[in-house]
């Protein structure tokens, strides 16, 4: 009889303990789910995604140069060309950003639009100059290999992303 009462008391005690711990866990999970997201967390995630995309794009852009087996001297020359171009065009890019903000806000004047076109042209010429300088660093074999890689990439791009309408 004593054993039976002890057994029943143990079962009841176990049920009470288990029953009390399960709702406590549920309330803890619910409190985590109900907590509002921290301010700026979505913006932070968006910025991180953008940064990752840029890194992937840079890897893709520089990946071709890695396949060319550049010497240390060539790598250093390429690095200095990129740094020089980056520093030279930084003010132009900043001015272009400001003009784009004006455009988004709807306050872009005709004069601003012509300035944006000029800046766009200057940046394009700057990029072309950098490309020419970088090509001058490469040997003839490396240039040939790069041209072949670019042809392959263009073909793959056309295959994956066909134009919806022909250019006029």
pLDDT tens digit sequence for 51-81:
887 777 665 555 667 788 888 998 899 889 8
- Residue 37, pLDDT > 60, answer no
pLDDT for the residue 118: 93
Q: What is the pTM of this model?
A: 0.53
Q: How many whole angstroms separate alpha carbon 108 and alpha carbon 101?
A: 9
Q: Range with the lowest mean pLDDT among 34-38, 52-56, 155-159?
A: 34-38
Q: Of 143, 136, 133, 53, nearest to 85 (Cα)?
A: 133
Distances (CA, A) of 56 to 50, 51, 121, 149: 10, 9, 26, 18
Tell me how crowded residue 99 is: count the other CB atoms within 10 A of its CB: 19
Give CA–CA dist 130/78, Å, rounded: 9
Span 79-111, pLDDT tens digits: 898 888 888 888 888 999 999 999 888 888 999
What is the pLDDT, as a whole number, of residue 87?
83
User: Taking all residues of the chain, what is their mean pLDDT, rounded to a whole number?
Assistant: 77
């Amino acid at each position: 009889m004593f054993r039976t009462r002890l057994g029943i008391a143990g079962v009841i005690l176990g049920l009470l303990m288990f029953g009390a711990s399960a709702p406590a866990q549920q309330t803890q999970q619910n409190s985590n789910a109900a907590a509002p997201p921290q301010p700026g967390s979505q913006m932070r995630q968006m910025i991180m995604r953008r940064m990752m995309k840029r890194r992937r794009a840079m890897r893709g852009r520089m990946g071709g140069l890695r396949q060319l087996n550049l010497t240390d001297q060539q790598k250093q020359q390429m690095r200095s060309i990129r740094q020089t171009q980056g520093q030279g065009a930084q003010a132009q890019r900043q001015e272009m950003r400001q003009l784009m903000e004006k455009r988004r806000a709807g306050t872009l004047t005709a004069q601003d639009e012509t300035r944006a076109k000029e800046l766009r042209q200057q940046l394009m010429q700057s990029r072309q100059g950098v490309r020419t300088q970088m090509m001058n660093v490469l040997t003839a074999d490396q240039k040939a290999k790069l041209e072949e890689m670019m042809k392959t990439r263009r073909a793959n791009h056309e295959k994956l992303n066909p134009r919806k309408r022909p250019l006029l």
